[in-house]
């Protein structure tokens, strides 16, 4: 695809101002003041105006995604899980665990605890994670592409998560604005301080480990958009695709967004076709897990249309349950059974009300469900099934709590 670049827009004054406060790069904050109080005070009024911004409660999203609701562990309580953690700590002492290994475990636990706390007020708010190079300059077309994309998503009241540094990460926050931005910074010896948009904001978390940071990037988001970048961007993008391909991440849209007329991700797509696919290292349907484009409009459409009818998913025992925002007709259901019979272990795709095992999410109880005995070897075809569900109502208005068209 080839598009004429949009005219450059002036950058916000925040980029020319010094940050008022510096993130302490040596400590994980232990502040007890809850972030996001103002966000919570808005209640559901924002979602009534922008229903496309309302997602599932990610605190109830199983981790990993293929963990059954209620748990294969027999429904262990929160208190029992905390007791298990305490016993694990005792065993670490008994095992004579080295100081270095204890530091890894201690830091990881503290980082994740604080990150969970920071993200908690926004748990029902859809977010898109934006990856890309920290080295991209503001005058580069890819920078403006990230600004334009994030600004467009913020108009739909989606929040933008980035790595909080410069380059594409900064561009994502410039486009979203401070209120709609969340940041997951990384402590490095040569880079990077937080960008001026997010620095000092309570929605910024600074982390020491890449693995805890990458967990938060995908745990809390409803979409991933990658712009051009280096090894880090390729790592983050490939890991996201791996998590989707193996079912460890709940299904979500992944967009590989080039600058207008750019070829970074187009070349990646050619490599996938000519090497990975032709050598049998991936399956043809795995290409359904991502979309390559150089158009901001197409990127926004790809993200939003994924949730046009489809809402979220859970495993209940051996049954996969897809929550949808409107009921399917008998003809649509029959079509899905004809087209996707090969991804079932047994039985048929059925339309049902909420299952009793989903009682932990009462706000979604009114949504119809699609349930099936899904063969988990076909995750990419599951993405195709979700696309087919969304195609049943191409003109639907996204509205998770009603059946508007």
- Check residue 70 and give its pLDDT: 58
**pLDDT grade for 246, boundaries at 50, 70 and 90:** very high
Cis peptide before 74 (omega within 30 of 0): no
Structural domain spans, the chain: 120-305, 310-391
Read off the pLDDT of residues 46-75 as tens digits, 9 standing for 90 and up: 877 887 888 888 777 777 777 777 544 456
Q: How far is CA 3 from CA 130, 257, 299, in A?
A: 21, 13, 13
Tokens 């065993």 -> residue: 91
Residue 20 predicted with pLDDT over 90: no
**pLDDT grade for 258, boundaries at 50, 70 and 90:** very high
Read off the pLDDT of residues 130-148 as tens digits, 9 standing for 90 and up: 999 999 999 999 999 999 9
What the block records as the tokens of 260 is 């207008």
225 contacts: CB under 8 Å, gap ≥ 6: 128, 129, 130, 131, 149, 254, 255, 256, 257, 299, 303
Which residue from 34, 52, 232, 197 is spatially nearest to 127, judged by alpha carbons? 52
Domain at 120-305: CATH code: 3.40.50.450
Helix, strand, coil percentages for the chain (3-state, nearest 5): 45, 15, 40
Residue 270 predicted with pLDDT over 60: yes
143 contacts: CB under 8 Å, gap ≥ 6: 136, 137, 167, 168, 171
- Check residue 4 and give its pLDDT: 36
DSSP category for residue 96 = T
Residue 298 predicted with pLDDT over 50: yes
Cβ proximity of 302 and 266 under 8 Å: no
């Amino acid at each position: 695809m080839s598009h004429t670049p949009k005219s450059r827009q002036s950058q916000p004054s925040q980029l020319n101002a010094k940050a008022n406060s510096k993130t302490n790069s040596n400590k994980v904050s232990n502040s007890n003041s809850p972030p996001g109080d103002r966000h919570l005070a808005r209640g559901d009024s924002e979602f009534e105006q922008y229903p496309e911004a309302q997602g599932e409660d990610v605190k109830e999203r199983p981790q990993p995604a293929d963990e059954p609701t209620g748990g294969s562990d027999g429904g262990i309580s929160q208190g029992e899980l905390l007791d298990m953690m305490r016993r694990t700590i005792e065993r670490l002492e008994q095992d004579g665990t080295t100081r270095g290994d204890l530091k890894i475990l201690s830091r990881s636990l503290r980082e994740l605890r604080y990150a969970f706390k920071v993200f908690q007020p926004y748990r029902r708010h859809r977010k898109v994670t934006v990856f890309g190079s920290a080295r991209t300059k503001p005058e580069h077309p890819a920078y403006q592409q990230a600004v334009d994309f994030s600004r467009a998503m913020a108009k739909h009241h989606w929040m933008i998560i980035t790595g909080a540094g410069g380059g594409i990460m900064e561009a994502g926050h410039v486009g979203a604005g401070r209120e709609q931005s969340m940041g997951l910074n990384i402590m490095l010896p040569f880079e990077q301080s937080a960008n001026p948009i997010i620095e000092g904001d309570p929605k910024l978390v600074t982390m020491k480990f890449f693995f805890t940071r990458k967990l938060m990037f995908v745990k809390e988001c409803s979409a991933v958009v990658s712009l051009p970048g280096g090894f880090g961007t390729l790592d983050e993008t490939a890991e996201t695709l791996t998590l989707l391909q193996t079912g460890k991440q709940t299904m979500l849209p992944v967009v590989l967004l080039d600058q207008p007329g750019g070829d970074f991700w187009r070349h990646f797509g050619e490599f996938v076709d000519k090497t990975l696919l032709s050598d049998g290292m991936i399956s043809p349907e795995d290409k359904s897990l991502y979309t390559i484009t150089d158009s901001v409009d197409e990127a926004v459409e790809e993200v939003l249309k994924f949730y046009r009818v489809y809402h979220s998913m859970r495993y209940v025992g051996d049954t996969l349950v897809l929550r949808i925002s409107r009921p399917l007709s008998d003809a649509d259901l029959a079509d899905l059974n004809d087209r996707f019979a090969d991804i079932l272990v047994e039985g048929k795709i059925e339309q049902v009300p909420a299952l009793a095992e989903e009682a932990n999410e009462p706000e979604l109880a009114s949504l119809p469900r699609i349930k099936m005995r899904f063969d988990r070897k076909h995750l990419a075809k599951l993405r195709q099934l979700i696309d087919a569900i969304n195609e049943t109502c191409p003109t639907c208005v996204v509205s998770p709590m009603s059946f508007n068209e």
